[in-house]
Amino acid sequence: MRTLVLDSTYFPVRIVSWQKAMILLFTGRAEMVTQYKERKIMGVTENFTLPKILRLFSRHKSEKKVRFSRHNVFWRDAFTCQYCHVKHSTSQLTIDHVLPQSRGGKTSWENVVSACSPCNTRKGNKLPHEANMKLLKRPVQPKWSPQICLRLKRDDPEEWSQWFHLKAV
């Protein structure tokens, strides 16, 4: 049982365990938006309904950085090979260093893109123009976004996705 936490502007910021959600609620840092029906924990003097969505009274700090990971690179690139522009599943995608590692290229948001295996093989140790290939867009560090930073699990309520504006992959 998890709780989606929105900030004061209704921007989704994190997903927490119901235990953490109860603490946010009882310490006056958040208010209930929706609750799980029929889900109650036994209190000493009363039953508490578990929160499904909470809203914080404070605003989300936007300087939070997106953690660099393979999965998050795929998210940034919308699961699309940056060379052939074809959308792929995670298992078909690889990470390509625009400036190859063998030539001093770093593993960073600015030098790493999603590529399908055939494109990655074709590019090899070359720069895109040397391999006659063109990048779909310049790779940059993405801004914090729920799509990248909040990982939904199978059991999470479907209604949460309306706060994310998720695109089907």
String of contacts with Zn ion for each residue 6-45, x by CB under 5 A: ----------------------------------------
Contact between 54 and 3 under an 8 Å Cβ cutoff? The reply is yes
How many chain residues bind Zn ion (CB under 5 A)?
5
Site for Zn ion in 114-143 (CB under 5 A): 116, 119
Nearest-approach distance from CB 91 to Zn ion, in angstroms: 14
Nearest-approach distance from CB 81 to Zn ion, in angstroms: 3
Name the pairing type of β-strands 93-97 and 47-56.
unpaired
User: How many Cβ atoms from other residues are within 10 Å of residue 162's Cβ?
Assistant: 8
Contact between 4 and 160 under an 8 Å Cβ cutoff? The reply is yes
Indicate which single residue of 18, 74, 75, 83 sits in contact with Zn ion (rule: CB under 5 A).
Answer: 83
Distance CA(84)–CA(149), nearest Å, equals 26
User: How many Cβ atoms from other residues are within 10 Å of residue 8's Cβ?
Assistant: 13
Contact between 74 and Zn ion by CB under 5 A: the answer reads no
Indicate which single residue of 33, 66, 84, 136 sits in contact with Zn ion (rule: CB under 5 A).
Answer: 84
Contacts for 152 with CB less than 8 Å, ≥ 6 apart: 15, 160, 161
Indicate which single residue of 6, 54, 81, 112 sits in contact with Zn ion (rule: CB under 5 A).
Answer: 81
Contacts with Zn ion, residue ranges (CB under 5 A):
81, 83-84, 116, 119
